[in-house]
Structure formats: C-alpha cells, structure tokens
Amino acid sequence: MKRWGSFTALLAVTIALLGGAMRLQSEQIFRWRLIPFKFRDTLYLPSSEYVRAVSVGYDVFMSDFLWLRMIQVFAASWTTPDSPETMKHYFDIITDLNPYNTDVYKFAILAVGEEHKRHDMVKEIVNKGIQHNPLDYHIPYEGASYAFMSMEDLDQAKLYVRMAKLDPNYPDFIDRWEGYFDIRQGRYEAAYSKFFREYIEAILADNPQLFDILRTQLNRAMDEWFKSVIREAAVAWHDRTGQWPSVDELNAAGAFQGVRLPDVQFVRGALQTAIEHDQGSGPLPPEQMDALIDRGVKTFDFLPLAPYDFIDPRYQGYVIWPYYYEDNPERFVLAEIKAAQTMGLLASSVESRIQAYRDAHRGQCPPTLEALLGEEAALFTEHRDPFGGQWTWDPATCQLGSTSFPSLIELGQLDVR
C-alpha cells in the first residue's frame, strides 16, 4: 500500500512538471509569435568592391552564384518589410560584377516592385539596366510595363517605350504601346496619327498579319477621339440644364460646330485603296505620308460618320448612357453598336442569375427584378436603356427585355472590332 502511495505521488509530481513545462512552452511560443519576423541573411556582402576582391577575377562566376542566392533570399524574405533593401543590395552587387545579365534586372523589378511598390528602386534598376544595355529592349520594356501597371505614370512608360525601340530587334507590338498610352492620356490625334501611319506602312510592306491589329487600334483611337468631343459637349449641357442630352439634341443645338475630328470615310477609303492598288509597293516618302495623315482630319459643323458606323447599318453614331458607368464618368459615351452589345452582355449575365434563382426556388421565376438582383435592379427599374427605351421584366417567362430591342441576348453576339 505504501509502495502504491509513493508511485501515485511520483506520478502526480511528473504530471505537474509536464503540465508546467507545456504551459511554459506554450507561453514562450505565443510570445515568439508576437515578435515581428525579421529576415537575417547569413551571407556577408559588405560592398561590390569587397566581393570583386575576393572573387579574384571570377566576377561573372561570382555574379551567377549570387544571382542564385538572390532568388533563394527572395523566397525567404519577400513578405518582410526590409526585403526591398535586401534585394536591392544583391542586385547592386550582382550587376556591378556583371552588368549584362538582363534577367537580374527583370527579377529585381519584380522583387522590389510587385510586392512592396518601391517605385524609386524600380527606376534605379531600370535606369542602370538601360545605361549598361542601351540596345536591349527587354529592360525598358519591363520598366514600361511597371510604370503603366503599377505606377500609373504614362509619361514614364512612354519614355521607356522609346528607349526600348533603340534596340533594332525590338518586337513590333512595342510600336503600338506608345499609341495606346496616347489614348489613355487623351492625346487622341497623336494616337490616330501613329496607328494610321503604321497601318499604311504595314500595307505598303505587304504585312497583312498586322491588318486586324492595326484596324482595331486605329478604330479605338478615333472612337476615343469622337467620344471625348461628345463627352465634353454633354457635360457642358448637363452643367447648364441639369439634364443629360441625346447626341441628336447636341447636334441639333450646334454643339459640334467647328469640331476637329477624323474623316473616317477618307481614312477607310485611303486604306482600302492602298490594299487594292499599292500593297507591297514599298514605303511612301515622309512628306507624302504626313500629307496623307493630315488629310484624314477635318473641321466639321456636325458629328460625322464614326469608326464603327460601317460594321452594322442598324447601329450608327453614339449614345449617352450616364447610369451604367456612374463609377467611371469617362465611359458614359458609347458607340451605338457597343451600347447594343453591352445590353446583350447584361442580359446574358442576368440569365445566369435567373437560373441560379430557379434552382433555389423549385423552378419558379423571380416575381420582380428586385427579388432577383437586389439593389442592382435599380439599373433597370430606375433608368432607361442607352437607346431611351424602357427595360421590361416578364415573370411568366423569366425574360429581361427592352422596348428598344426584341431580343437582347442576340446583341451580345455582335462583333465589334
């Protein structure tokens, strides 16, 4: 009995000690988790001069070794606050040893820019790459992508595009970036001139694989130009009257007198003539090309035919639809064919919601659009469609419609290029 009592006491002491140890361990782990993680690199790299000295002439080999190390360190530290400085330090040493490894520059842009948005470091990286590799388009191309996507600095992006084009072997799609940036900056005439020139040059060089791309870009540039003119007139009307006008009302009121816009008929005719008669004939002299581009822009007293007016005779001109793009006031003017297509796409999205509703309600149709869409139904119930018609809802057939068009789903299949 005495022996059993000693065992019980020893077991109790052991359990108490284990419990205390486990509690102490748990508290220590909890405290450790509260300490912010700080990455510590075990490789000592004081400076490029130091590394160059210890590499004893094997600079490129050492740079390749550190390049692999940089990738490993990035994987270990990419979420830590000091990761950009660590990556930049590796980058500086590697590119001081071997400034011609363009992959290091591209990776460094990712390492300091994508996660931490260190725009200052990205500029230093790109500028160093251009300085040492002035005829390689890859680095300024990456810089342009970052400046556009992350910095939203179109001037910087265009500067890098021009530097990329110093490489005689740059891919031709880079040519179109500058025009796209012009459109985003509201420099529509510059974008029109660039894409019209490139389209003519592609025809004369017998390069038809670019025709569809350049046609799309040229139409987009002219379309944005038209929309900017209409938008300016519509906003002025709204500021004066408190109401949004139609394009016809603006035209009738003389809002477009003296407006400078592309003569789309002339542009299309010039392109078709070049395709039929001059394709493959070789480049035009610069003065002739400039004169051709200048003839494509005229002064009108009314809104002329627009870029997409030739796709489908049912949809010509523009509509003002301020309600669908309330969160983006730059987009409330649409070409008619794009407005019709948008209506079709809206109907298609509602169709998928209808099916989900019916699956959840034993096949029953939603009695109202509010029951189906909630607050989103206001787009249809409180506003007209872009053509001035009324949206309709038939709970018997589960059909969203419009008095402007008998079949909305078909509109989503319009081919707009």
How long, in residues, is the chain?
417
Residue whose tokens read 């407005």: 339
Q: Where are the domains of the chain?
A: 48-171, 335-411
- Residue 328 φ then ψ, to 5°: -140, 90
* pLDDT of amino acid 36: 58
- Residue 318 φ then ψ, to 5°: -135, 160
Strand partners, 400: 393
In this prediction the pTM is 0.75
* pLDDT of amino acid 38: 62
* pLDDT of amino acid 253: 94
Widest pairwise Cα distance in the chain:
117
Tokens of 170: 């740059």
Q: Are 204 and 278 in contact (CB under 8 A)?
A: yes
Cα separation, 398 vs 129, in Å, equals 60
Cα separation, 337 vs 416, in Å, equals 7
* pLDDT of amino acid 31: 66
Q: Provide the CATH number for the domain formed by 48-171 in this structure.
A: 1.25.40.10
Give the torsion sign (CA, 125, 190, 334, 215): negative
* pLDDT of amino acid 34: 52
Cα separation, 163 vs 176, in Å, equals 14
Helix (H) or strand (E) holding 156: helix 154-164
* pLDDT of amino acid 1: 52
- Mean pLDDT split into 10-residue runs, the chain, 417 residues: 63 72 71 58 80 85 88 81 87 92 91 86 93 91 90 89 90 84 88 93 90 92 95 92 93 94 95 88 89 95 93 92 69 91 88 89 90 88 89 89 86 78
Cα separation, 254 vs 86, in Å, equals 62
Cα separation, 25 vs 202, in Å, equals 73
End-to-end CA distance of the chain: 96
Of residues 120, 124, 191, 129, the one with CA closest to residue 158: 191
